[in-house]
Each structure stands twice: as structure tokens, then as C-alpha cells.
């Protein structure tokens, strides 16, 4: 006997057309890290552990091909509106479950933090490509221009942190994420994931893939959700891997930089005044330890920025030094040929 087709429970009948589209979408299933492989190929394990991200790439759990599109078709923009009674709620099978940045961070065992610093796009382009680019390009950054370390982080993010089916283009949001991870800066992963899920509230064209199937099932199960007895539940088993192209060709090999001491950012830099200088405590203002910590954090931030800029300038100088002799040699060949033709 043929099994009965799955029928979702929709929060309103008008969503049936959306369901007919969403049930046909592919899923971006989270992947698992092979620690031994990356210890041999690109030792980012310490970085991931320091950033409390390693566990987000391990034992990511299971997923349902019925449940994932059912969640997305039932999404409502009111989930993101703080004045709505549905704020931070998602509808799943006649029940409203909690879903918010705080819930996501708690599930991933991460702390809630603020992210006030947003690097300039031109700076990100230079940092991620080892100065192959000095301006953010139209159409965003092509992934083959990333350094080796950023390429590895990009692959992790493209499946587990900020999933995207297009893995050849690095968007500003993705660049900002992997830059902060690489440089040991705070990342509010819960907000990133929440915002990415909520970006699917408008009906999208049919080629869009649905992200976070394992995460969504895990969060619901932590609140008591139970799949149907006959619901097929699959375990995520695909592993991340690297290939030789990451260590050759257009990718600048910066794996050795993982061995350098990181710069930590314990708190956001203080707000700046309109004149561009940092607001200093006045003589009448009591000096507190927190102010000192903030100033030290700001100094560390500016030092890291200068170091990155100096590294970009240094790499450009190396390119110039290597190119000038080639230009001179080419001119000599031209002169020699012109002399032969003249005689």
C-alpha cells in the first residue's frame, strides 16, 4: 500500500500555495567537522574552540524533510515585531513555540553579546583577500579570492552558521561574520541565525534552499516537540572537507597566521565624539575599572586595525617589488627587438 501523502498543518488556508512551493525546495543540511582532517590540513580547531563554535560543527543532530518546509511556510513577519503578541513565536502543528535570538543562543550554549563594530566593506575586501582586492567589488567577493583560512571559515558558515546555496560569492554579511570569527571578535550567532530565518517570511522564488533543518528540529525538541510516529527523521552525516585548491592557485596561504597570538575584544570600544576622538573622563568624573577596560579594548581594536592595514600595504609592496623587474625586463626585450628591426 502506498503511504499517504504528508499534509501540513498551516496557520491559515491561504498558505497552501506557498506549501506547494516550499515542499519542493532543497534543504541546506548542516555538516560535521572531521577534527583530525582539519588538524592535518588547516588547524582552525583552536580558533573554533576559542570562539565557542566547535560544537556547532559537531553532532549537529537530525532533521525532517516534512518539518523543515512546514516551519518556513508558517513563518510570519510578526515573529520579529516586538509589539506583536506573536513576537518570538513560531507556529508548528497547532502549537506556538518560542523562537528568538536568546533561544537560539541558549540552544547553542552561546552568550548574548552586542556587536557594535561593523568593519568597512573596503577594509573587509582587503583583509579577506590579502589585498588582492582593495575595494568591495560589485557583485560581492568571489570565493576563489579568499585566503586559505577565510575559505575554510566560509565553507563552515555556508552550511552551518549563515547557510547559502551559492558558495562562490561572499556577501557583506558573510564577510563580516568570518572576519570577526578569524579575529577573535564577538559574534552574536543567535541574532544572525534568527535574522536569516526571518528573511524567508516573504515568498521567495523556487530555487531558494531552506537552511538550518537540524537546528530547527533541535530547538523544537528542546521545548517538548515530538515528530509524528511515521515521520522520517534523518541524521546529518555529511562532513566538511578541503581540497588541494585551497592551498594553491589564487588562495593566499595564511595558515601560519593561526599560530600568532590573538587580539581579544572583551568589550565594545567606547562611543566616539563628533570630533572623532574618544570621549575621555573629565577630572570631576570618577574613574572606574570598566572605563579603563573599555579604553584598553579600544586601543587593542585600533592596534589590530593598524596591523591589518600594514599587512595589506606590505603585501602590495611585495607585489610592486616583484612586478617592477618584470616590467624592466619586458622593456629591454622591446628595445632589443626594435634595434634588430631597425637594422
Nearest to 113 by CA among 183, 216, 192, 50: 192
Of residues 211 and 244, more confidently modeled: 211
Count CB neighbours of 132 within 10 A: 20
Of residues 42 and 57, more confidently modeled: 57
pLDDT of residue 309: 67
pLDDT of residue 304: 63
Beta bridge partners of 142: 169
Mean pLDDT value of segment 16-24? 89
Q: Does pLDDT of 10 surpass 90?
A: yes
Mean pLDDT value of segment 77-86? 94
Percent of the chain with pLDDT over 90: 53
Mean pLDDT value of segment 21-45? 91
Average pLDDT, the chain: 84
pLDDT of residue 125: 93
Contacts of residue 287, defined as CB under 8 A and 6 or more positions apart, other chains included, come to 281
pLDDT of residue 91: 96
Residue 1: band (very low, low, confident or very high) from pLDDT cuts 50, 70, 90: very low
pLDDT of residue 334: 84
- This prediction's pTM: 0.75
Nearest to 53 by CA among 175, 190, 214, 247: 190
Cα separation of 136 and 124, whole Å? Answer: 8
Question: Which tens digits make up the pLDDT trace of 124-143?
Answer: 999 999 989 989 999 999 99
Any idea where the domains of the chain sit in the sequence? 13-252, 292-343
220, 226 contact by CB (below 8 A): no
Lowest-confidence segment of 39-43, 130-134, 273-277, 326-330 by average pLDDT = 273-277
Residue 246: band (very low, low, confident or very high) from pLDDT cuts 50, 70, 90: confident
Percent of the chain with pLDDT over 70: 80
Q: What is the DSSP letter of 78?
A: G
Question: Which tens digits make up the pLDDT trace of 179-202?
Answer: 999 998 889 999 999 999 999 987
Contacts of residue 91, defined as CB under 8 A and 6 or more positions apart, other chains included, come to 11, 74, 76, 97
Could you give the dihedral angle defined by the CA atoms of residues 127, 129, 135 and 137, in that order, rounded to the nearest 10 degrees?
-130
Q: Is 53 helix (H, G, I), strand (E, B) or coil?
A: coil
Mean pLDDT value of segment 25-30? 95
pLDDT of residue 272: 44
Question: Which tens digits make up the pLDDT trace of 259-313?
Answer: 765 544 444 444 444 444 444 444 454 555 555 655 665 566 566 667 766 766 7
Q: What is the DSSP letter of 263?
A: P
Of residues 288 and 41, more confidently modeled: 41
Lowest-confidence segment of 8-22, 121-135, 136-150, 318-332 by average pLDDT = 318-332
Full DSSP string of 138-164? TT-EEGGGS-HHHHHHHHHIIIIIS--
pLDDT of residue 186: 87
| Joined grid coordinates for residue 64 | 525532517
Amino acid at each position: 500500500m502506498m503511504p499517504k501523502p504528508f499534509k501540513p498543518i498551516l496557520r491559515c488556508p491561504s498558505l497552501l500555495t506557498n506549501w506547494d512551493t516550499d515542499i519542493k525546495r532543497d534543504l541546506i543540511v548542516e555538516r560535521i567537522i572531521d577534527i583530525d582532517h582539519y588538524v592535518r590540513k588547516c588547524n582552525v580547531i583552536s580558533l573554533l574552540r576559542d570562539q565557542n563554535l566547535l560544537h556547532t560543527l559537531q553532532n549537529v543532530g537530525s532533521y525532517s524533510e516534512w518539518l523543515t518546509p512546514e516551519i518556513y511556510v508558517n513563518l510570519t513577519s510578526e515573529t520579529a515585531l516586538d509589539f506583536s503578541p506573536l513576537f518570538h513565536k513560531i507556529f508548528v502543528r497547532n502549537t506556538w513555540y518560542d523562537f528568538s535570538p536568546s533561544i537560539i543562543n541558549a540552544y547553542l550554549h552561546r552568550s548574548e553579546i552586542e556587536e557594535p563594530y561593523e568593519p568597512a566593506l573596503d577594509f573587509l575586501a582587503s583583509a579577506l583577500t590579502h589585498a588582492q582586492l582593495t575595494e568591495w567589488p560589485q557583485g560581492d567577493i568571489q570565493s576563489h579570492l579568499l585566503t586559505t583560512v577565510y575559505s575554510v571559515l566560509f565553507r563552515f558558515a555556508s552550511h552551518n552558521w549563515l547557510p547559502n546555496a551559492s558558495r562562490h560569492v561572499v556577501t557583506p554579511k558573510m564577510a563580516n561574520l568570518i572576519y570577526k570569527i578569524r579575529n577573535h571578535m564577538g559574534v552574536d550567532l543567535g541574532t544572525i541565525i534568527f535574522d536569516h530565518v526571518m528573511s524567508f517570511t516573504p515568498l521567495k522564488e523556487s530555487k531558494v534552499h531552506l537552511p538550518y533543518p537540524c537546528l530547527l528540529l533541535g530547538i523544537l525538541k528542546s521545548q517538548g516537540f515530538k515528530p509524528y510516529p511515521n515521520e522520517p527523521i534523518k541524521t546529518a552525516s555529511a562532513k566538511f572537507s578541503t581540497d588541494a585548491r585551497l592551498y594553491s592557485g589564487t588562495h593566499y596561504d595564511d595558515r601560519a597566521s593561526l599560530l600568532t597570538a590573538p587580539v581579544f575584544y572583551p568589550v565594545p570600544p567606547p562611543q566616539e565624539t563628533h570630533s572623532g576622538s574618544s570621549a575621555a573622563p573629565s577630572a570631576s568624573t570618577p574613574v572606574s575599572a570598566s572605563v579603563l577596560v573599555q579604553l584598553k579594548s579600544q586601543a587593542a581594536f585600533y592596534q589590530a586595525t593598524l596591523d591589518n592595514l600594514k599587512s595589506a600595504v606590505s603585501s602590495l609592496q611585495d607585489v610592486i617589488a616583484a612586478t617592477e623587474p618584470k616590467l624592466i625586463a619586458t622593456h629591454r626585450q622591446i628595445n632589443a627587438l626594435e634595434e634588430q628591426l631597425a637594422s
